[in-house]
Amino acid sequence: MSPTMLIGLGLLPLIIGISIILLGRDTVSNLKLLVVLIPLEAFAVLEIGFTITLAYLVLVIIILSIIMKGTKLDTSIIGGRLIILYWIIALISTVNGFFGQETAATFVSENMRFRASGMRPILQYGLLLFHFLLFFIVVKFVQKEKDAFSLLKIHLYFGLFLMCLGITQYVLYVVNFPLIDFTWAIPLIDNSSTIEYGKVRLYSAGVSDYSIRTTFIESLHFADYLNSVLPIIVAFWFTKSKEIKKMFGFLATPTASIIGILAMLLTFSRSGWGGFAIAMLILIIWLAPRTAFIHIPLATVGTSLIVVLLSSFGFFIGNSQSLFELIKGRFELENILFGPRAQYFLVLWDSFKEHPLLGLGAGRFALFGAEATGSDQVHSSHGILWGALADFGLLGFVILLAFMLTILISLYKSIQSLEKDSPQRVILIGIFAALCAVYFQSLFVGDRIQFYLVLLMGLSVVLINLYKQKTSDMLHTDQKTIDSI
C-alpha cells in the first residue's frame, strides 16, 4: 500500500466524523462555514485530475443534508427560472457537442490528461449545476435579516483578514522572510514534478511578481474576490451612519477602506482596478456626491503615503522596474491589445462563429482553444460570459446575462423603495456596487460563476424579499389605520 493511501485511510475517520457533525447542524450554520472556506482557493487543495477545494466538500455536505431532510428548493424566486433555463440550454449544448461535433485533437501535457479527457464535458456540466445550486440554497434557508447580515459580516470580515494577510505576505516577501512560500505536497495521481496538478498544496504565502494573491491561485482571482468585499466596506465608510457603525463595527471605519484599497493596488490587476473604479463611481453618485471630495482624496493620499513609505524602505526595488513603472506597464496599449488574453479571445471568437447558437458544449472550448494555439495546456475563456458564449452559444450567453441583469434590476428597485437614510438602503447600495464591480471583472476572469458572486446574488434576493414584505406590511398597517379613522 502506497504512503498516499495510508495517509488517506488515516484521515478517513476524521473526515467521516466532521461530515457527521456538519450533517447534524442547521443549514445556515454550515453556510457560515462555507463563506469562510470559499476564498481558500489554493490554501488546501486536493488535485485528483481536477481541483477539489474545502468549499466543495462542505457544499456537498450541505446538499446531502438538504436531501436527507427532504427539503425542496424554490425555483420560482427572482432569477430562478432563468437559471433552470440556462441549465437546460447547457445540457442540450453539451449533448450536441458529444454527438454532433468532432473531438478536439489536443495533445496536452501529462498532468493535464484527465482535464482534457472525454470526462471533461460531464465534469464541467456538473460543476455548472453545483455552483448555481448555492444560489437556491441561500435564498431558501436564509429567511431572517439577522442571518443575512451574519453571512454578510463573515464575508466582509474574512475579506478584511485576507487583505491584511496579503499586505503582510508582501512585507515578508520583500524582507525575504524564511519559509515565505512553504509548500507541502503529496502526489495523488502521478509522479509529475509539476506542483499544480496531482498534488495536495498548502500555501503559507502567495506573492509573485509584486502581486499578492493570499489564498488564491492568481492575484487576478484575489482582486475579483476583493471587489465582492471592498465596495461594501467603502459604502459603510461613506455614509458615516451610526447605525451602520453599530452593526458592522470596524468595517465602517476609514482604516478598513484604506487597507482594502492598498490590497487592491498590490494585486496589480487591471480588471480589478477597473471594477473597483466602477463601484466607486456608483457609491459617489448614490451615497456621497459632496463628501466624496473629502473621502476620495483622503483615501488616495493615505494609500499613496503608505506606498511611498514602503518604497523608501526598498519594497519595490527587487524588480528591474520601479513600482510606478510596473503600474504604467499594466496600462500600456500594446500589452492590452496584443497580450496573450487578447489572442485567446480571438480564438474564442472564431470558435463562436463556427458554433454560434449552442456553442461547443460544457468545457469543450478549453480543448479546442488548446488545439487552435498548439498549446499543451487546456485553455481558459478568461471571462464567465465569454465562457458561456463559447461553450453554450448565443442562447447560453443571453440567458446568463439576463440572469445577472435581473438581480441588478431587482436590487435597484428595492433600493429605490427604501427610505434614503435607512441603513438597509446603504447595505443594498454597497452590494449593488460590489456586484457591478465583479460583473465587470467577470469579463476578464473565470470560466464559471464564482461562489462569492453567487453568495452576494443570493443575499441580494433574500434582502429584496425581506424588505418587500416589510414595506407591504407597513402599507397594510397604514391602510388599516386609515380605515379605522
Per-residue pLDDT tens digits for 462-478: 999 999 877 655 544 54
Is pLDDT at 184 greater than 50 in this prediction? no
Give the per-residue pLDDT at 412: 95
What pTM, to 2 d.p., does this model score?
0.86
- Distance between CA 281 and CA 416 in Å, rounded? 18
Cβ proximity of 260 and 230 under 8 Å: yes
Give the per-residue pLDDT at 396: 95
- Distance between CA 240 and CA 214 in Å, rounded? 30
> Mean per-residue pLDDT for 194-217?
57
Question: Measured in whole angstroms, how far is the alpha carbon of residue 282 from the centre of its chain?
Answer: 20
Cβ proximity of 394 and 212 under 8 Å: no
Instruction: Give the residue with greater pLDDT, 45 vs 318.
Output: 45
Q: Which three three-digit cell numbers place residue 22?
A: 456538519
DSSP 8-state secondary structure symbol assigned to residue 183: B
DSSP annotation string for 242-286: HHHHHHHGGGGSHHHHHHHHHHHHHTT-HHHHHHHHHHHHHHHHH
- The percent helix, strand, coil of the chain (3-state, each to 5) is 70, 5, 30
Give the per-residue pLDDT at 100: 62
DSSP 8-state secondary structure symbol assigned to residue 199: B
Angstrom CA distances, 173 to 41, 204, 316, 329, 342, stand at 20, 12, 11, 22, 31
> Mean per-residue pLDDT for 270-298?
81
Cβ proximity of 125 and 223 under 8 Å: no
- Distance between CA 36 and CA 205 in Å, rounded? 18
> Mean per-residue pLDDT for 271-276?
93
- Distance between CA 267 and CA 261 in Å, rounded? 10
Is pLDDT at 12 greater than 60 in this prediction? yes
Please report, as a single letter, which amino acid is at residue 111.
Answer: N
Give the per-residue pLDDT at 197: 37
Is pLDDT at 411 greater than 90 in this prediction? yes
DSSP annotation string for 109-158: -GGGTTTTSTTHHHHHHHHHHHHHHHHHHHHHH--SHHHHHHHHHHHHHH
Query: Where exactly are the structural domains of the chain?
Result: 23-484
> Mean per-residue pLDDT for 260-271?
89
Is pLDDT at 193 greater than 70 in this prediction? no
